Amino acid sequence: MTDDARPRTGVPPGWPARVLPPGTPGWQEEAQRWLWELLPAQYGRHPLLHRQPVLLARQALLQVEAELVALRKGSRSARVDLAGLAMDPAVVEEALRLYAAEGERLQELAGQARLVTDALVHDVRRAGAGGG
């Protein structure tokens, strides 16, 4: 199903386009597939993450947030560090634009991961309370 053909009613603002809306049949499985894409492949070796979607979501969010921290550190130190490596000033400026673009992408991704995590937690709590 393409993104354009997906049902989009009831979708929280900022929800990942590739994940069905919460409450839609199959949304949790799709959300988990999306979350796995946010983690390094080595995490797939851990059965616990396959069994616990909320833990998977938490770790995916932590991963994206850590990438954002690393990117910000790289951006803050880029002018000095890259000049010290004899980088051409045009390359330094291009690197700063790259950091800015990646920062925006990672910010959006972190927001999406928070929404998915919150929705998974909500479903687990509802199921624990005797709902669905």
Q: What is the pLDDT along the chain (132 residues), one digit of tens a residue?
A: 444 444 556 788 999 999 999 999 999 999 999 999 999 999 999 999 999 999 999 999 999 999 999 999 999 999 899 888 988 999 999 999 999 999 999 999 999 999 999 999 998 888 777 654
- Residue 24: phi and psi, rounded to 5, are -75, 140
Neighbours of 97 (CB within 10 A): 10
Helix, strand or coil for residue 26? coil
**Phi-psi region at 61: left, alpha or beta (left = phi > 0; alpha = psi -120 to 50):** alpha
The whole-angstrom separation of Cα 101 and Cα 91 is 15
Q: What are the sequence ranges of the domains in the chain?
A: 74-132
| pLDDT at position 113 | 98
**E strand segments, the chain:** none
The pTM assigned to this predicted structure is 0.84
